[in-house]
Amino acid sequence: MRRQLALAEQEREHATEVRVKDTLQTNEVVAQRLRIRTSYQTALNAYQARKGLARISWATWFITGGTILLWCITATVMAQMVGAHDIRSILMNIASNAIDVHDNDALTTTLIAYGAKDNSLMLQGQYWRFITPIFLHANALHIGLNMFNLVVLGIFLERLYGHLRFLLIYLLTGIISIIASFYFAPQEISVGASGAIFGLVGAYSIFVLVHRRAFPYGGVPALLWLLIIVALNLSIGFFVSNVDNYAHIGGLISGCLLGWGFTPLYRLSSHNVLVDKHALRRRWPLALLTVSGTLVLAIIALYVMQP
């Protein structure tokens, strides 16, 4: 009888231990899911905690404004090269070339003068052309589409990533897109922000993937939407001349890599305070590594492409 009572007591203790263990595991799962949801919501709404001018997506608007200003200058110079000197004739020339996707001598000469990607000049030491093409555009349609995408996506992502991380991703993916074009499309004169914008798409794709449990249906609809956007834009390159798909692919891949390293990742600290584990002040060694890696890529491309 005593033995049976002892066995029954052991079974009750074991059952209690199992229930406690299951409860702890359940609580941990709930806490993990809460952290994931909180991470997304905190990143999405972090800008609301800022006040006044600090809430503005400065990097996005600065890049957009500077790019539009530079296009106005190059469009005016190109119009003057073909004989348009008063405001009306300049505007007429810009309008007539608004959707022209074909090269012309005045356009090519102007873009090269202002910093377009030209392999022959880059191999002669004009290394700034790894950066300047990001801010140059061929015509009104080109800049209109790119700046629309930049504003729509950029404002949102800058709120998620913060000013400096957003700027780092935009510039580095833009430069890497030019490096890809430099290596894989050496004969092309290339300009445009689309490589950097593809980089932003790549970074956001990784954000959705990392925080998929915070999105409806595990983030699958959001990822499919991004995939459709990428597929449509890349397919245009196969049917429309003068579209640099190598730059687009280079920007997309580098955006995914940088997004993986810098996507906001909030976790509860020991003091129950949400801390972004991927904040730039915590990830500055990785930031230096990515900048150095981009520089090394450019040097390798220059070395390999030497005649």
More confident call, 277 vs 100: 277
* pLDDT beyond 60 at 300: yes
* Residue 52 to residues 48, 228, 256, Cα–Cα distance (Å): 10, 36, 32
Question: Residue 19 has what pLDDT?
Answer: 46
Least confident segment among 134-138, 173-177, 217-221: 217-221
Catalytic positions are 194, 248
Question: Residue 264 has what pLDDT?
Answer: 84
Taking the C-alpha atoms of residue 196 and residue 225, their distance in angstroms, rounded to an integer, is 19
Nearest CA-CA partner of 43 in 151, 143, 165: 165
* pLDDT beyond 70 at 135: yes
Question: Residue 277 has what pLDDT?
Answer: 81
Taking the C-alpha atoms of residue 46 and residue 247, their distance in angstroms, rounded to an integer, is 32
Q: Which two tokens stand for residue 44?
A: 């999405």
* pLDDT beyond 70 at 15: no
Q: Which residues contact 297 (CB under 8 A, 6 or more apart)?
A: 176, 179
Taking the C-alpha atoms of residue 161 and residue 204, their distance in angstroms, rounded to an integer, is 10
* pLDDT beyond 90 at 22: no
> What number is the average pLDDT over the span 257-274?
79
* pLDDT beyond 60 at 76: yes
Confidence of residue 21 (pLDDT cuts 50, 70, 90): very low
More confident call, 27 vs 176: 176
Confidence of residue 184 (pLDDT cuts 50, 70, 90): very high
Taking the C-alpha atoms of residue 90 and residue 84, their distance in angstroms, rounded to an integer, is 5
| Domains, the chain | 2-304 (1.20.1540.10)
Alpha helices in 185-283 (DSSP H): 194-210, 220-239, 245-262
Per residue in 35-70, pLDDT tens?
Answer: 555 566 665 666 556 666 666 789 999 999 999 999
* pLDDT beyond 90 at 71: yes
Task: Look up the pTM and report it.
Answer: 0.83
Taking the C-alpha atoms of residue 118 and residue 186, their distance in angstroms, rounded to an integer, is 8
Query: How many CA atoms lie within 13 Å of 220's alpha carbon, on the beta-carbon side?
Result: 2
Confidence of residue 8 (pLDDT cuts 50, 70, 90): low
Nearest CA-CA partner of 255 in 184, 210, 178, 201: 201
| Length of the chain in terms of residues written | 307
Measured at the alpha carbon of residue 243, what is the angle toward residues 115 and 245, in degrees to the nearest 5?
A: 100
Average per-residue pLDDT for the chain:
83
Question: Residue 45 has what pLDDT?
Answer: 62
Share of the chain above pLDDT 70, in %: 78
Q: Which residues contact 8 (CB under 8 A, 6 or more apart)?
A: none
DSSP 8-state assignment for residue 190? B
